[in-house]
Amino acid sequence: MKSSGNTLLITGGGSGIGRALAESFHALGNQVIIVGRRQSTLDEVTRAHPGIASFTLDIEDADAIPRFAADVTSKYPGLNAVVHNSGIMRVENLLDPAFSLDDAEATVSTNLLGPIRLTAALLPHLLKQPRATLVTVTSGLAFVPLAATPTYCATKAALHSYTESLRYQLRNTAVEVVELAPPYVQTELMGPHQASDPRAMPLKDFISESLQLLTQSPTPAEILVKPVLPLRNAARGDYPAFFKQFNDAMSAPRH
């Protein structure tokens, strides 16, 4: 993926990893379009970085996605890169008598169906470009799940699988398909405490290392910063022991 000269759409671009990617790609000389549910959050980014454009979209709304795709490609016909970054992560206690499926269903709609639907809506346009890139943001938890967030982990594992199939189907086109699998990063995905959790990778460091990998030529199929490698490679060793050790560590009190 070229570092500049792209017209780049980033879902979930109002905060966290999405916002940091948007700001970095904008600084490199790309036309950046951020997408999210909350206009106020998007406005914070566009005010701070004139030139970044924004669209509101509820990624769970299946009917809204084709309309959005038609609108954004009409206004930005040079669109040639999409980063599927929208995501929610919620703790689910399956033993709680009051457990509801609401969080699970919202997570599937946002994290999995959203990228699938938006890819289907934008792919005909991307295939017409001289070069194009689709980036799916999965997670290290696609490879070793965090037991406290079962549906989140399941959606990321499914998105990893979908990405591999999509890459193979598009292998003879000008559309490259890249998977960005973050480790635990200092964002507010799980709440304000995460942004300062010493166990998490600083957001600035994650973005810097990820951009170095994303802009290599040829682009790696998987963008894996160093802290995520133990999760990605866990299946090569004693997986049950690693799974237990990882989940025990993540459930321990923060210091």
CATH classification at residue 47: 3.40.50.720
- Domain holding 184, by residue range, is 7-251
Mean residue pLDDT across the chain: 96
Give the count of domains, the chain.
1
- C-alpha to C-alpha distance for 235 and 30, rounded to whole angstroms: 38
Separation of alpha carbons 4 and 6, rounded Å: 6
Structure tokens at 72: 């954004």
Q: Is residue 2 in some structural domain? A: no
| pLDDT tens, position by position, 191-215 | 899 999 999 999 999 999 999 999 9
Note whether residue 43 is domain-resident: yes
Residue 68 lies in a domain: yes
Name the more confident of 255 and 61.
61
Beta bridge pairs of residue 178: 135
d(Cα 231, Cα 145) in Å, to the nearest integer? 9
The CA distances from residue 58 to 35, 46, 103, 110, in Å, are 9, 19, 16, 9
Q: What is the mean pLDDT of residues 65-89?
A: 98
Q: pTM for the whole thing? A: 0.95
What pLDDT sits at residue 154?
Answer: 98
Identify whether 70 is part of a domain: yes
Going by pLDDT thresholds of 50, 70 and 90, the confidence category of residue 255 is low
List C-alpha distances in Å: 252 to 38, 145, 199, 229, 249.
Answer: 33, 16, 11, 21, 5
Is 152 an active-site residue? Answer: yes
Helices (H) and strands (E) in the chain, counts: 9, 7
**pLDDT on residue 190:** 87
Quick check: helix, strand or coil at residue 19?
A: helix
Q: 254 pLDDT exceeds 80?
A: no
Q: What is the mean pLDDT of residues 19-34?
A: 98
Q: Which of 71-85, 185-199, 215-229 has the lowest mean pLDDT?
A: 185-199
Secondary structure of residue 44 in the 3-state scheme: helix
Please give the Cα distance from 227 to 238 (Å, whole number). Answer: 18
Question: Out of 76, 152, 162, 239, which one is annotated catalytic?
Answer: 152
Q: Which of 71, 66, 67 is nearest to 54 (CA)?
A: 71
Length of the chain: 255
Confidence grade of residue 98 (pLDDT, cut at 50, 70, 90): very high
Q: Region 153-159: what's the mean pLDDT?
A: 98
| Region 133-137 average pLDDT | 98
Within a domain: 101: yes
Confidence of residue 252 (pLDDT cuts 50, 70, 90): confident
* Residue 253 confidence (pLDDT): 72
Please say whether the beta carbons of 121 and 11 come within 8 A: no
- Residue-wise pLDDT for 112-122, tens only, equals 999 999 999 99
